[in-house]
Structure 1
């Protein structure tokens, strides 16, 4: 029998941390306001045949680790049978010590399956069989897994052309977890993309509008935005290297759009003028409807051209970028604020060198109209591990108000990722507990604990108005 690794006091290093976690954090429902879960699998209450399908498929965190350990791609995204892929992950896991994957994996085994044993090459076959048997039970369907984790609300991410048919099924069904969506218009904005005109063809069909001019494009996006709003959407999202900002005139933007629509290439300046114009238009519309807008900035994507050609995007070939963020981000937010059209906004950075930059940028545009109107978002992607979480919490605390923070999200494609909320809550409680013990914070658990409950649940509930 293995000695449990995930104990009750995991990551909690003193009595104050324990009191904060068990009395104020642990039992709070989860609001996961940004993820990439497939809504079709939630609506159909999908059951999984194997733990490989549920746990390893689509998880580029695991894929990168397996490649680093010398696992052949056949056992990662390739044609190997599920049991062999699981065995390959089990072979890799013991070598992930000090990588967050080790903590996350043990948390997931413990919370979903009651397993204390360390997964490794020698017990992989036995564990694979035992877990697959459990997957036959109703609590291991997609809806069952979300219910197990006390997920009150989650928000997936959809392109403007999406039919939202699965969200409609869920809205009219009996599943207690509220499932919403975020409007993600990146493909309509990134005019320099090679397949941009092909995408506009899809947008035409979805909107029922022929797109010949820039005004046609705005009309089509507005129609889709209204459709999303009618279906309960109140959040938008955008994932860019950096926010563009260039001065433009409507006449210039119209000419740029028609040039691209005709199949011609654009200069960088032309593309940035167009993107600035269209994004400002969309963001004003978000503000008009009381939406929350999210900006995920700083990823350097698809670095490995050879593997991108073979496997496509989102398969583990992205990294942290070192883009200049401050000036264009400031100008963009200022343009919206100048018209009093700046919606509630969450800013996420991927480069930790930009932590204080982003934290202070938020303070420039908090105008008292809403608590934490402009938020410095949680540690994202490569920064959602213990060190990244602590650095984000420290930057936010030093430059703004931690007490107004809307907390953690998974940003995940995995139905087994929700213990990351527990991971965040334990890190948060331990950070505060250590400062209570040292006398840096009052040794008043009710006072500090109320802030913990706000960060873990109540702030998000209020901010997103769920």
Structure 2
């Protein structure tokens, strides 16, 4: 059976199903630069302008989205994260890709091959793997596809890495001094210091002591050490923090003497009760929030992940390896209490809140809107579709919720949240979905047929808003 109006797979108008959408994308969204305000990219790769030898080095090492898909497809772990050669591991991914039809990985894979690698009109499969492997290696050997070259091809202006408070940030310093593009800014992620009940807490205090030069004997010492690290990050251009709160908690902070006692008990190897741990976490998070507000930094909160569910996988491979899931905890009350405690002191920083369970979209979007204040457009943000949600359905759900409960005009847009330099294609994926949604609303008469006005909205969400949000004080 022949089709009279055949559509090319992932052609120039991929995901753009009407004329307004096509014009919004091609005339407004496509050429906008990128400010990737949350990623897990390697500062070493960027600062060192690494030249990758092959697609496995660039594409598969560290990408737990692909690792997870390969496991589901029945690929042996040796060919995913084990001692198989780079070529064998790439072949394993090529075997998996045809099984990804209907999964966003199928689209992302071919977007990434097309741009910036320029491999078009060839679908990745076991039969084409050798051709794509050879072509990619040839192109990756050119200066245009070094780490910084790839970022340039994606028109990335700013990339924000995710960094522990004990990090020296030496790579960020060297990169800034080199004057190379894009700008690479650190993000202050102090998760370990919040988790007083975790087995590694005491060891982490030792790392923090060495990095800060502050002997930590009590709570005030801990704050002094964190203050020194905040100052260090500020010198290196930091303007964001980030926290992963699997389940937000709020217990009224106890006295300094009690917090001293909790630290000492942990140093002695003794366990704390859940309320004791929660009171410590609350105290430290509120102190950090005040510091972020004082410095004009943005606070990011990632909520609701179930991490490292396979204990065998965690032991054999490590964290962030594809053994995670969407949690189903409820957290409206403690999250509201955290934000309100800071707001009552007029110390609530600009905040982006991401949820992993789409069930919570409306709750979270309505909650953050309750703290709009201080004449700051979009001061609190219902963050972009995150992790398991950064596919078409999840992006559309997030955008619809944003439209219904907030002001889309002030949304700070998409990010990669990725360890792969090729994942910047997700910005293009988002922009196409976004323009399609707006174009469809124009066609239905739900938005005015004013492409200049709607185009301004598109440019704001793609780039302009996040620039203002991060860098205008």
Structures share fold, TM-score greater than 0.5: yes
> How far apart are 1:126 and its partner, in Å?
1.5
How many angstroms apart in 1 are the aligned matches of 2:301 and 2:247?
9
In structure 2, which of residues 391, 399, 403 is the aligned counterpart of residue 393 of structure 1? 399
- After superposition, the C-alpha distances for 1:26-52 in whole angstroms (9 at most, x for unaligned) are 101001000010101111111111111
Moved over 3 A (4+): none
1:99 and 2:103 correspond: yes
How many angstroms apart in 1 are the aligned matches of 2:399 and 2:193?
34
Structural RMSD (CA) = 1.0
> How far apart are 1:368 and its partner, in Å?
4.2
Give the TM-score normalised by the residue count of structure 1.
Answer: 0.98
1:122 and 2:122 correspond: no
Q: Any gaps of 5 or more consecutive residues in structure 2?
A: 1-6
How many angstroms apart in 2 are the aligned matches of 1:88 and 1:184?
34
In structure 2, which of residues 127, 142, 146 is the aligned counterpart of residue 137 of structure 1? 142
Match runs of 1:14-413 below 5 Å: 14-116=18-120, 117-250=122-255, 251-413=257-419
How many angstroms apart in 1 are the aligned matches of 2:279 and 2:347?
20
How many angstroms apart in 1 are the aligned matches of 2:232 and 2:48?
22
- After superposition, the C-alpha distances for 1:346-366 in whole angstroms (9 at most, x for unaligned) are 000000000001100111100
SS of 2:185 mapped into structure 1: strand
Mapped contact 1:257–1:274 kept (Cα < 8 A): no
Mapped contact 2:148–2:181 kept (Cα < 8 A): no
How many angstroms apart in 1 are the aligned matches of 2:118 and 2:149?
16
How many angstroms apart in 1 are the aligned matches of 2:65 and 2:190?
25
> How far apart are 1:4 and its partner, in Å?
5.6
SS of 1:153 mapped into structure 2: strand
SS of 2:291 mapped into structure 1: helix
SS of 1:232 mapped into structure 2: coil
> How far apart are 1:6 and its partner, in Å?
2.5
> How far apart are 1:262 and its partner, in Å?
2.1
Mapped contact 2:410–2:465 kept (Cα < 8 A): yes
> How far apart are 1:190 and its partner, in Å?
0.7
How many angstroms apart in 1 are the aligned matches of 2:466 and 2:423?
19
Q: Any gaps of 5 or more consecutive residues in structure 1?
A: none
Match runs of 1:4-23 below 5 Å: 5-23=9-27
How many angstroms apart in 2 are the aligned matches of 1:258 and 1:365?
36
Mapped contact 2:218–2:259 kept (Cα < 8 A): no
In structure 2, which of residues 437, 441, 458 is the aligned counterpart of residue 452 of structure 1? 458
Give the TM-score normalised by the residue count of structure 2.
Answer: 0.97
Mapped contact 1:31–1:457 kept (Cα < 8 A): yes
How many angstroms apart in 2 are the aligned matches of 1:438 and 1:258?
64
How many angstroms apart in 1 are the aligned matches of 2:185 and 2:194?
23
> How far apart are 1:247 and its partner, in Å?
1.2
> How far apart are 1:252 and its partner, in Å?
2.4
Report the CA distance shift for 1:368/1:210 in structure 2 as closer, same or farther (over 3 A). Answer: closer
Mapped contact 1:214–1:258 kept (Cα < 8 A): no
How many angstroms apart in 1 are the aligned matches of 2:16 and 2:371?
35
Aligned residue in 2 for 1:465: 471
- After superposition, the C-alpha distances for 1:9-64 in whole angstroms (9 at most, x for unaligned) are 00000000011101111101001000010101111111111111100110000001
How many angstroms apart in 1 are the aligned matches of 2:145 and 2:27?
28
How many angstroms apart in 1 are the aligned matches of 2:50 and 2:178?
15
- After superposition, the C-alpha distances for 1:62-110 in whole angstroms (9 at most, x for unaligned) are 0010000000001100011111111110010011011110010010111
